Amino acid sequence: MHVGIITRYKQHEATLAAIRIAEWVLAHGGTVSMFTYEQPSNSPINAYWDTRVQHVRRGAFPQWSLPLTSVVWTHEPSMDEITWAHYKQVPAVVVASWDELSDAFSEVFYLCTAIVAPSMLAGEYFFAAGFIQSLAVPWDVGLPQTQKPSDYQPQERIKALLPLHDSQPSRIRPETIQVLTKVLRTCKWVDLTLLVSPSKLRGKVSKQIRKMVRALPGRVTRITDPGEEKRWLIYGQHDLTIWLSTIESYGLPGLISLAMGTPVIGYGAPIISEILAPARCRRIPGRIILNAKAIPSFIPDLVRTEESLLALLSDREEIHEMANNTAAGTKRRSESFEHIWPFVLD
């Protein structure tokens, strides 16, 4: 098995997904090559793959794809690429991010061997759209389950984490940052860490973050995302992750946090709600609407956001109880990932 993975190699969930697939292939005795059309980046993503990803010329797909037994894209491929793979009978798999689909995605997807949806809801969406080759594979970040120490208790000052790395800033509404600032003014016993990809933080969200820092002097720490293991450890060093994204494909912030033993409060939005099981998380309600492609989007309820944050941040015992339950469901998700991928790639 020689699998080729084509990804936009940059700080993005899809690239982390490509690396997760590559590691799975290597762990199961296969060989893998990772390709990108992007120019080399100065920002490190993964120490191993940074030096091994092959930068190829767009349009040269036939030349370098010949040795591959299957090809995986972590974004929607071009019609030329998918047609060539179909013509050569090379199994062609797309890990489909439903929030990044083009208007012509249906023409491309009908030529795929398989469409892997990283959530149950996305899988239902593609199947309902007529893509019978769709497979829902609940995403697994591949981290060993890490629990808080047995004697763990939230301290007098609660440490909360707000993920703003990768695509998170574009998925967070500025008004929710305003609400969080208001809540933290009341909850004076809470300190907040911002885990930031500097190049991603701009616009109205960045403006609200600056206002938050000024409103809460000495209580907001900004950390530049170090990536890989150091990123995971930052999640594990906090009592609670406040996940304010309103749309996801993979849900990596929530999955990483739970794998590191840190409970999560976030919106009950599509995809996200599949991760936020009640025993280890809290869901903030809102309104779901459908766009022109029938993809659901989430409109936060700001009043309920404030109420939910206030209630949880005021209850150390509940945060402690949630931390004890973070392992729930992780094994099942990992087993689903492990058992389905052989059928996709063989």
Do residues 164 and 239 share a domain? yes
Please tell me the distance from the alpha carbon of residue 119 to that of residue 183, in angstroms, as a whole number: 31
Does residue 61 carry a pLDDT above 80? no
pLDDT for res 246: 93
Is residue 213 assigned to a domain?
yes
Is residue 145 assigned to a domain?
no
Is residue 148 assigned to a domain?
no
How does the average pLDDT of the chain come out, rounded? 90
Is residue 299 assigned to a domain?
yes
Is residue 151 assigned to a domain?
no
Is residue 131 assigned to a domain?
yes
CB count within 10 Å of CB 272 equals 26
Do residues 303 and 166 share a domain? yes
DSSP E strands in the chain: the ranges are 2-6, 31-36, 54-55, 70-73, 92-95, 114-117, 134-136, 158-164, 190-196, 220-224, 240-243, 264-267, 281-284, 286-290, 296-300
pTM: 0.92
Do residues 127 and 171 share a domain? no
Q: How would residue 80 be classed by pLDDT, with cut points 50, 70 and 90?
A: confident
Supply the CATH number for residue 188's domain: 3.40.50.2000
Do residues 312 and 339 share a domain? no
Do residues 92 and 185 share a domain? no
Do residues 170 and 313 share a domain? yes
| DSSP bridge pairs for 192 | 160, 220
Look at residues 233, 227, 232 and name the one whose alpha carbon lies nearest to residue 46: 227
Does residue 57 carry a pLDDT above 80? yes
Do residues 211 and 255 share a domain? yes
> Strand pairing of 2-6 and 31-36?
parallel
Do residues 15 and 37 share a domain? yes
pLDDT tens digit sequence for 216-244:
999 999 999 988 889 999 999 999 999 99
Higher pLDDT, 289 or 184: 184
Is residue 146 assigned to a domain?
no
Report the alpha-carbon angle 133-139-141, nearest 5: 145
Higher pLDDT, 336 or 235: 235
Q: Which amino acid is at 34?
A: M
| % of residues, the chain, pLDDT over 70 | 99
Domain count across the chain: 2
Do residues 135 and 190 share a domain? no
Does residue 284 carry a pLDDT above 80? yes
Say which residue the tokens 């974004």 belong to.
Answer: 75
Do residues 166 and 307 share a domain? yes
pLDDT tens digit sequence for 88-140:
888 899 998 887 888 888 999 999 999 999 999 999 989 988 998 999 998 98
Do residues 31 and 113 share a domain? yes
Does residue 62 carry a pLDDT above 70? no
Does residue 154 carry a pLDDT above 90? no
Report the alpha-carbon angle 128-105-122, nearest 5: 40
Does residue 64 carry a pLDDT above 80? no
| Enclosing domain of residue 164 | 158-326
pLDDT tens digit sequence for 293-302:
778 889 999 9
Q: How would residue 68 be classed by pLDDT, with cut points 50, 70 and 90?
A: confident
Do residues 184 and 321 share a domain? yes
pLDDT tens digit sequence for 159-215:
999 999 988 998 999 999 999 999 999 999 999 999 998 777 788 999 999 999 999
Positive or negative torsion for Cα 287, 276, 98, 136: negative
CB count within 10 Å of CB 229 equals 10
Is residue 37 assigned to a domain?
yes
241 by Cβ neighbours in 10 Å (0-12 / 13-18 / 19+) ranks as buried
